[in-house]
Structure 1
Amino acid sequence: MKKNYVIVLMLLSACAIIAIACSKGSDDPPADPCSGVTVAVSGTPTNPSTPGGTNGSINATASGGTGLTYSLNNGTFQSSGNFTGLAAGNYTVTARTSAGCTGTQTFTLTSPTPSCSGVNIIVTATATPGGACSSSTTGSINASATGSTGITYSIDGASYQATGTFSNLAAGSYTVTAKDVNGCTGTTTVNIAAPVAGPLFSAVRTLIVNNCQSCHNNSIANGGMNWQVECNIITNKDRIKARAVDNNPSSMPPSGALAQADKDKITAWLNAGGRYSD
């Protein structure tokens, strides 16, 4: 009986040892599948063929695991390491195994230096002056270029644009630059002339200066009229006709009606359009 008791104790002790061992093993973290694994990425970069071009590529391969997939700049993984349609710049290719182990490599694509030898870009431009005292008081430039392709345009060093039309320009001199797809340029200078007063308006302006401006100027603006400002003459041409030509409701100037020859000058200007350029 004593012998059987000893055997039972021995069996219980063995089970306890096995239970402790099993319990201890269940608390250990799982082994890292990437421990000791090196995923090496290599590849062949191909630079864009033209300045600003987007036909560069990277053909990458990797070793160190199976089921490899590839990602460019943290993008979606794909089965191939071939990436196309790339511009100049820095790119990171990541290779990942089926176990999730990764490796990376950085590639640099460069843009070729443009060669403008033999390229002659000729720029022509026409200027349209603005009309003084009109709804279009600023001028414009319309430029075009020949001698290359992919032309864009800039005025006085501003950002390039697809067309050679520039508007809302004050009178003055401007430099228009045309640039092709390779960065080769051509320039021309164009001048927007200041608006020129027409002879009919000039005659009316002289009449008003001589007869009315003493009472309608920057300091004294009787009736709210300031004839020192040329555009006020155009804005108020109907009032000038009523007072100086029709004498309605009274003549202008107050000293007496204008001579018929002077009235005819105002009428001729109004019949021509009553503009600054008339």
Structure 2
Amino acid sequence: MKHPILKAATGLLGLLLLVVSCSKSSDESPTDSCTGVTINVSATVTNTTGAGLSNGSLAVSATGGAGFTFSLNGGAFGNATTFSNLAAGSYTVTAKSSAGCTGTGNFTITTGDACAGKTIVVSGVTTASDKCSNTGTVTITATGSSGFTYSLNNGTYQSGAQFSNVAAGSHTILAKDADGCVKSATVTVTTATAGTNFTAVKNLIQTNCISCHNNSNQNGGVSFADDCGIVSRKDRIKARAVDGNPSFMPQGGQLSQADKDKITAWINAGGKYTD
């Protein structure tokens, strides 16, 4: 059995040893949990669909740890793994694991082709035009996209698909969608058939007036050799052949009343090539 003094001394020595051991442990550096850890960041890049648009995105992921959160261009970390509504440009994504280990990846969103993968089809329906005035119409139809506006012969685009007062001949029709994708086609506006009233008047002029009013002999500077020349001078024809103002024509004698009535009927109908 130990003496009480010796027993106390032994207990005090044990306490001192314990204190020394704890102090030594507190002087050591803690182990870095990210040493030797490599965080790799990857992303699926979706480019914008056209110039000036902010509809690109980055779908990000990371390996080398667990419990990742992500930051875009130094912003706040969050749980979202997709960054949307991005414009064309360069981006840095940082991934941080639950242990606080980080890694970065650099990605580029480019301006994509807004028209890639689209099949726009343009067609047109026409109505004939008067030979001597532009009365044709063109109505454009487009499929394969949305938000179309329309142009005729590379003119100003408009929301309406119909164009009026179109001349006879070949025309380029164009449709442009909301992304600026343009498709074109060609249509032909035909010349309308001559009207019965015009044809009757033309026959009268061919019989009674053409000898004095043709391309070689243009009395008074007037030629009726061209259909549109007849139409453009309908008021003069009525004045001379029907009203006798300032005198009756043709020179060989007045037309019969039936022939005068043919001219009057044509004028009253509109005096056009198609009347």
Into which bin does the TM-score normalised by the smaller protein fall? 0.5 to 0.7
Aligned to 1:55: 55
Deviation at 1:152, TM superposition (A): 4.6
Alpha-carbon distance in 2 for matches of 1:244, 1:160: 45
Kindly, what percent of the aligned residue pairs are identical?
A: 45
Post-superposition Cα deviations, 1:23-58, rounded to whole Å, max 9, x if no partner, equal xxxxxxxxxxxxxxxxxxx99794336466531268
Change in 2 beyond 3 A, CA 1:216/1:170: same
Does the aligned pair in 2 maintain the 1:151–1:180 contact within 8 Å?
Answer: yes
Post-superposition Cα deviations, 1:184-214, rounded to whole Å, max 9, x if no partner, equal 9988764311132111101101111221111
Aligned to 1:277: 274
Alignment of 1:109 onto 2:120: no
Alpha-carbon distance in 2 for matches of 1:217, 1:193: 27
Alpha-carbon distance in 1 for matches of 2:207, 2:137: 35
Alpha-carbon distance in 1 for matches of 2:235, 2:135: 25
Alpha-carbon distance in 2 for matches of 1:265, 1:224: 25
Q: Which structure 2 residue ranges, 5 or more long, are not aligned?
A: 1-40, 59-71, 76-82, 93-105
Q: Which structure 1 residue ranges, 5 or more long, are not aligned?
A: 1-41, 63-81, 95-104
Aligned to 2:69: none
Change in 2 beyond 3 A, CA 1:208/1:161: same
Change in 2 beyond 3 A, CA 1:109/1:43: farther
TM-score using structure 2 length? 0.54
Aligned to 2:254: 257
Does the aligned pair in 2 maintain the 1:47–1:110 contact within 8 Å?
Answer: no
Let me know the Cα RMSD of the aligned residues. Answer: 4.3
Query: Which of the pair has more CA radius of gyration?
Result: 2
Change in 2 beyond 3 A, CA 1:270/1:161: closer
Post-superposition Cα deviations, 1:95-120, rounded to whole Å, max 9, x if no partner, equal xxxxxxxxxx994515278445xx7x
Deviation at 1:182, TM superposition (A): 7.5
Letter in 1 for 2:141: S
Matches within 5 A, 1:79-118: 85-86=86-87, 91=89, 107-111=108-112, 114-116=116-118
TM-score using structure 1 length? 0.54
SS in 2 for 1:277: coil
* Length, aligned pairs only: 199
Q: Residue 218 of structure 2: which of 216, 221, 225 is its match?
A: 221
